[in-house]
Amino acid sequence: MQRDQVTLATQTIHRVDEPRHFMRLKPVPRRIRVLKDSQVLADTEAALRLTEIGRDIYDPVFYIPEADMQVDLVPIIGKSTHCPLKGDASYFAHRGNEPIAWTYDRPLAATDILKGLIAFYPDQVVVEEIGQMA
């Protein structure tokens, strides 16, 4: 059975073997701060918003440059996953051993833009979008 090659989005990155699984990255035109229990974990004017459609329409996630982290996150040794669209991810904890964030430290070629960026679980942090950048 041949899969339909038509998609509903442009300027997206598609999974080669499953074109209905795709994502779009867009620069965020605002300052983004990530907080956990009122502590600032990250503060940036260079965030990317990733929207992904796969088995579901996933909630958008902000990706923050490592250089804009305000705290040191602790790598979770032995925890990694593979996404057929983005690549291999490693995970981080903050004050404990529960995952709070991840990074695609081994992204696929099409998603190499994610290297050096950290994303947070939206239910673990508060994300503030501040102002409108010029």
Q: List the chain domain ranges.
A: 25-46+62-130
Partnered with residue 27 across adjacent β-strands are: 48
CATH for 25-46+62-130 (3.30.1330.60, 2.170.150.40, 1.10.3720.10, 3.40.250.10): 2.170.150.40
Cα–Cα dist 63/125, whole Å: 13
Q: What is the pLDDT of residues 15-53, one digit of tens each?
A: 889 888 999 999 999 999 999 999 999 999 999 999 999
Say if residue 62's pLDDT is above 80: yes
pLDDT of residue 1: 36
pLDDT at residue number 95: 87
Q: Output 97 or 79, whichever has higher pLDDT.
A: 79
What pLDDT does 103 receive? Answer: 98
pLDDT bucket at 96, cuts 50 / 70 / 90: confident
Q: Check: CB of residue 15 under 8 Å from CB of residue 105.
A: no
Exposure of 48 by Cβ count < 10 A (0-12 exposed, 13-18 middle, 19+ buried)?
Answer: buried
pLDDT at 11: 78
Phi, psi dihedral angles at 72 (to 5 degrees) = -90, 120
Q: Rounded distance, CA 32 to CA 9, Å? A: 26
